[in-house]
Amino acid sequence: MTKKIVTLAGDGIGPEIMAAGLEVLEAVAKKINFDYTIEAKAFGGAGIDAAGHPLPEDTLTAAKSADAILLAAIGSPQYDNAPVRPEQGLLAIRKELNLFANIRPVRIFDALKHLSPLKPERIEGVDFVVVRELTGGIYFGEHTLDDDSARDINDYSADEIRRIMRKAFEIARGRSKKVTSIDKQNVLATSKLWRKVADEVAKEYPDVALEHQLVDSAAMIMITNPARFDVVVTENLFGDILSDESSVLPGTLGVMPSASHSENGPSLYEPIHGSAPDIAGQGIANPISMVLSVAMMLRESFGENAGAELIEMAVDKTLKQGILTCDLGGTADTAQMTAAIISNL
Ligand code: NAD
Ligand code: IPM
Ligand code: MN
């Protein structure tokens, strides 16, 4: 059956890397006989420009009826002091589609090991996933800004924690059966609840080991001994920060994909990085984050494991050939990198 994929290219480098991701999808679809349609919709700053809203009504309607959603990136300095910001569209689509489970894999292609700022022995064996709670916490609590005071409320219910925790334990069952839960239990009430629920959920999974880690020391371990992690589960804000930190291991945000899942609706796939305004419009962005997001979509929404593996192997081979974009110190532009990946499929 034909699958409907809604694409949200967004802003900055978004349209450049979306085009690359779709070219790779088209090439791999031919090889595996994957039948799909693309519906492109305005989103983020592009949504504000087209319809006055970062998540226009018809974009949301299309996303809700999609089989999967591909999102590139949103955001632009032009909206820094605007009353409506592109980022509000991102938070709104996550909430509207109930995309509570954001999966951010961290693996380092062999070909990138020597480019990592970390010593080779530190990154040997690094392969973990950050499971980030995506629809709760301080992002969605009340925000109040007055002239001389401000507050942001961090809210979590036990149910919200339980479902993301179960997701992490399920993922751990398919990996090395170890979950590291990250919190700030020595200070925050939300973290005390987080840890209590983590311990309760762990009883449902006697085959999986649970360890707790405070977020400050976890940030340190991510650099000093990252191979220690396998499945890392944490709240929305900590997950945002730690996942960007994890991009230091492969050496760039430009290779980091993600998947966001709800209980039963369509999933959304997007790079973890933003719209990279500093390089937008130059055709030099690294498309790999988007290309690997396409691979995650094929595997996780459509069960097309062979297609996902073809893409991942082609990316690996391309990097081994020394074809690198500028974020990795190379000279290939987006189009050259994309063409090389396609020819290596
Ligand atoms: P960013 O992730 O856009 O960029 C950080 C750095 O990484 C920049 O130097 C950029 O050039 C580089 N980079 C990121 N992706 C790259 C790629 N594919 N290839 C090569 N280099 C890449 O973060 P920022 O500059 O702090 O934020 C810019 C805008 O993006 C802001 O408006 C922010 O709110 C938004 N943002 C959006 C998302 C999203 O769409 N999911 C995520 C993060 C930030
Ligand atoms: C991300 C981004 C978003 C977040 C911003 C743009 C709202 O940084 O997807 O990681 O903080 O979740
Ligand atoms: Mn982020």
Catalytic: 11? no
The secondary structure of the chain, three-state, reads: CCEEEEEEEECCCHHHHHHHHHHHHHHHHHHHCCCEEEEECCCCHHHHHHHCCCCCHHHHHHHHCCCEEEEEECCCHHHCCCCCCHHHHHHHHHHHCCCCEEEEEEECCHHHHHHCCCCHHHHCCCEEEEEEECCCHHHCCCEEECCCCEEECCCCCHHHHHHHHHHHHHHHHCCCCEEEEEECCCCCHHHHHHHHHHHHHHHHCCCCEEEEEEHHHHHHHHHHCHHHCCEEEECHHHHHHHHHHHCCCCCCHHHCCCEEECCCCCEEECCCCCCCCCCCCCCCCCCHHHHHHHHHHHHHCCCCHHHHHHHHHHHHHHHHCCCCCHHHCCCCCHHHHHHHHHHCC
Q: Which of 275, 286, 290 to mutate to test the pocket of ligand 1 (most atoms within 8 A of CB)?
A: 275
Cα 106–Cα 109–Cα 110 angle in degrees, nearest 5:
135
Atom of ligand 2 nearest to the CA of 91: 7
Catalytic: 79? no
Which domains occur in the chain, in start order?
1-100+255-345 (3.40.718.10), 117-249 (3.40.718.10)
Q: Which of 85, 91, 234, 241 to mutate to test the pocket of ligand 2 (most atoms within 8 A of CB)?
A: 91
- In the set 58, 152, 155, 216, the catalytic residue is 216
Q: What pLDDT does residue 51 have?
A: 96
Compute, in angstroms, the gap from residue 240 CA to the centroid of ligand 2.
7
Please tell me the number of Cα atoms within 13 Å of 139 on its side-chain side: 21
Q: What pLDDT does residue 54 have?
A: 98
Q: Tens of pLDDT along 209-258?
A: 999 999 999 999 999 999 999 999 999 999 999 999 999 999 999 999 99
Cα 150–Cα 153–Cα 155 angle in degrees, nearest 5:
175
Q: What pLDDT does residue 36 have?
A: 98
Compute, in angstroms, the gap from residue 60 CA to the centroid of ligand 1.
23
Compute, in angstroms, the gap from residue 50 CA to the centroid of ligand 3.
25
Q: What pLDDT does residue 313 have?
A: 97
Q: Which of 80, 87, 273 to mutate to test the pocket of ligand 2 (most atoms within 8 A of CB)?
A: 87
Q: What pLDDT does residue 29 have?
A: 98
Which ligand lies nearest to the CA atom of residue 44 in the structure? 1
Q: What pLDDT does residue 240 have?
A: 98
**Beta carbon of 327 within 6 Å of any ligand 1 atom:** yes
- In the set 184, 205, 269, 333, the catalytic residue is 184
**Beta carbon of 73 within 6 Å of any ligand 1 atom:** yes
> Is residue 30 a contact partner of residue 71, using CB atoms and an 8 Å limit?
no
Cα 49–Cα 4–Cα 163 angle in degrees, nearest 5:
90
Name residues of the chain where pLDDT drops below 70. none
Compute, in angstroms, the gap from residue 250 CA to the centroid of ligand 3.
16
Which ligand lies nearest to the CA atom of residue 99 in the structure? 2
> Is residue 95 a contact partner of residue 140, using CB atoms and an 8 Å limit?
yes
Residue with tokens 């987006």: 334
Catalytic: 244? yes
- In the set 240, 269, 327, 333, the catalytic residue is 240
What is the residue with the minimal CA distance to atom 6 of ligand 2? 87
Q: Tens of pLDDT along 94-134?
A: 999 999 999 999 999 998 998 899 999 999 999 999 999 99
Catalytic: 240? yes
Q: What is the pTM of this model?
A: 0.98
**CA distance linking residue 297 with residue 246, whole number of Å:** 21
For residue 66, the one-letter residue type is A
Q: What pLDDT does residue 24 have?
A: 99
Ligand 2 site, CB within 6 A: 75, 87, 90-91, 240, 272, 274
Atom of ligand 2 nearest to the CA of 90: 7
Which ligand lies nearest to the CA atom of residue 279 in the structure? 1
Compute, in angstroms, the gap from residue 75 CA to the centroid of ligand 1.
8
Q: What pLDDT does residue 106 have?
A: 98
Residue 334 CA, distance from chain mean position: 20
Q: What pLDDT does residue 316 have?
A: 96
Compute, in angstroms, the gap from residue 162 CA to the centroid of ligand 1.
31
